[in-house]
Amino acid sequence: MPVPKDNIVVALDIGTTKICTLLAEVDRNQQVNVVGVGTAPSAGMRKGVVVDIDEAAQAIVQSVEKCERLSGYSIQSAYVGVTGSHITGANRRGVVAVSPNASEITVPDVERAMEAARVQAIANDREIIHVLARGYTLDGQDGVRDPIGMVGRRLEAEMHIVTGGSTSIRNLVRCVNRAGLQIDDLILQPLASSEAVLSPGEKDIGVAIADIGGGTTDVAVFTDGAVCYTSAIGVAGNHVTTDLSLGLRAPFSVAEQVKIEHGSACTSQVGPDEVLEVQTYDQDEGELISRRLVVDIIESRMQEILRLIRAELGRSGLDGRLPAGVVLVGGAAELRDIRLLGRDVLELPVRVGVPRGAIGLTDTIMRPAYATTIGLLRWAAYHTEEASAPILTFPQWKGLSRLRGMFREFLA
C-alpha cells in the first residue's frame, strides 16, 4: 500500500462508544476530500479516557485497517482527539515590553508574550495541549486581533491554555503508538468539533458547542472569534441507556436499541397510548411498555446533562452573552426532540450541528456523531505547517513543543 503523501491527513477519534478513522486528501484551498472511512466499536475506554491500553489499541487497529482497505493507503500517523474530565482550560495573560528601537511588533515579540502566558499554566502533573490566542492588548488598547506590523511598547497576549492530566495523556499516546501509529497532533475534541459545525460569524458573536457523546459531554465557548472556555463533563449518552436498562429491566443492548428507535427528549411529544414491545429480563417473548415511560426516563437524564451544560456556560461567565446560542453535536444530539428540550433547559437558541466542509465518501458520516472526526480533518487541513494559518493560531505550535518532544520520546 502506498504511504500517504504530504497532502493526505488522517483523523482518529477514539470515543467511548466508537472509534472512527478518516483519511482525506486536502487540496490547495484546504478542501477536504474524504477517501477512507473506518469505524469500529470502542473498547478499553471509559469517559473518554483509556482504561485498558491493549483493548483500546486493538479497537483502533480495527478502525484503521478498515480505513486503509477503503482508501488504499497505509496509515502511519494521525491527528488524534483528546477529552476527559482531566482536561481543564484557563485564560492567562502574558505581558512583554517591546524594544523602544523596534519599528514594529514582530512574530518573536508575539511569541515571547505567548510564552509568558504559557509558563503560568505549566504544572508538574499536567501537559499543555493547546495555547490559543484570544486577542492582544497594545499599550492599553484591547481587542487587537493581530498585532504584527503595529507600533507599540507594551504587548499583552490573552491566551486560552488547555491542559490535560499527564497520566491520561501519556496513556492515550502510548495506546495510539501501540496500535502502530504516530501522533501528528493531539486536539481537544470540542475544538475539533467546532471546526466542522460552527461558522466564523457565530464564533465572533458568541456561541457554545456541546458534544454529547457516549461517555463525556464536552463544552467549548467562543466569543470575539476565539475560544474562551473549555471543559468536559463525565455524563453523556451511555448514562441514558444505563438508566433505561435499569428502569425497563432490560439488557443494555436492548435499552440502546429502544432509545435509538423509539426515544425522544420530550414526554410532551408522546401520545398517552403509545406502547412498545421490549425484550425485558422478566419476559423473554417481549413485554408491552408505555413509550411515555421510556421517554420519561430519557428526558430526566437528558435534562440533567443539559443542566450541567448550562452550569458550565455559567462558569464561563458568558451565559448571558451567547446570541448564537448552543450547538449540540455528538451521538446523543441525534436524539429526537433534543432541540426542544435544549431550548427549554438552556433558555438560549439551540440547534443540532451537522458537520460540513468535507466532500467524498461522506454519506455515512455527515451526522452529529461524526462532528469530532470531520472537525479533526478540517483542523489538520487548516493547521498543517504547509498551510498558511493565520497569525492568531500560528504561534500555538510553540505550545506543543513539549508535547511533541514527548511523542518522540515514546516513539524512540
Distance CA 119, CA 53 (A): 31
Footprint of ligand ATP on residues 257-316 (CB under 6 A)? 259-260, 263
Distance CA 263, CA 90 (A): 37
Q: How far is the CB of 212 from ligand ATP (least distance, A)?
A: 7
Residue 22 · residue 377 · CB < 8 Å: yes
The C-alpha angle 185, 45, 124, rounded to 5 degrees, equals 55
Q: Cell 497532533 appears where?
A: 185
Q: Which does 113 bind (CB under 5 to 8 A by kind): Mg ion, ligand ATP, none?
A: none
Only segment of 157-165, 205-213, 228-236, 284-292 that touches Mg ion (CB under 5 A):
205-213
Footprint of ligand ATP on residues 122-151 (CB under 6 A)? none
Q: Taking CB under 6 A as the rule, does residue 353 contact ligand ATP?
A: no
- Nearer Cβ to ligand ATP (259/310): 259
Q: Taking CB under 5 A as the rule, does residue 15 contact Mg ion?
A: yes
Instruction: Report helix, strand or coil for 47.
Output: coil
Q: Taking CB under 5 A as the rule, does residue 38 contact Mg ion?
A: no
Distance CA 397, CA 300 (A): 42
Distance CA 19, CA 44 (A): 11
Residues making up the chain, counted from first to last: 412
Q: Which does 316 bind (CB under 5 to 8 A by kind): ligand ATP, Mg ion, none?
A: none
For residues 228 to 267, the per-residue mask of contacts with ligand ATP, x marking binding by CB under 6 A and - elsewhere, is --------xxx--x--------------x--xx--x----
Residue 5 · residue 24 · CB < 8 Å: no
Residue 398 · residue 114 · CB < 8 Å: yes
Q: Taking CB under 6 A as the rule, does residue 16 contact ligand ATP?
A: yes
- Give whole-number Cα distances, 249 to 4, 222, 261, in Å: 49, 42, 18
* Interface residue with ligand ATP, options 21, 33, 39, 42 (CB under 6 A): 42
* Interface residue with ligand ATP, options 4, 15, 36, 353 (CB under 6 A): 15
- Nearer Cβ to Mg ion (213/360): 213
Sign of CA dihedral 339, 377, 23, 399: negative
Distance CA 199, CA 355 (A): 11
* Interface residue with ligand ATP, options 181, 324, 365, 369 (CB under 6 A): 369
For residues 206 to 225, the per-residue mask of contacts with ligand ATP, x marking binding by CB under 6 A and - elsewhere, is -------xxxx---------
Number of Cβ within a 10 Å radius of residue 252: 13
Footprint of Mg ion on residues 101-120 (CB under 5 A)? none
Q: Which amino acid is at 342?
A: G
* Interface residue with ligand ATP, options 48, 206, 325, 360 (CB under 6 A): 48
Strand pairing category for 32-41 and 18-26: antiparallel
Q: Taking CB under 6 A as the rule, does residue 366 contact ligand ATP?
A: no
Q: Which does 331 bind (CB under 5 to 8 A by kind): ligand ATP, Mg ion, none?
A: ligand ATP
Distance CA 21, CA 66 (A): 8
Q: Taking CB under 5 A as the rule, does residue 206 contact Mg ion?
A: no
Q: Taking CB under 5 A as the rule, does residue 213 contact Mg ion?
A: yes
- Nearer Cβ to ligand ATP (145/367): 367
The C-alpha angle 187, 92, 113, rounded to 5 degrees, equals 95
- Which positions touch ligand ATP (CB under 6 A)? 15-18, 42, 48, 213-216, 236-238, 241, 256, 259-260, 263, 330-332, 334-335, 369
- Which positions touch Mg ion (CB under 5 A)? 15, 213, 372
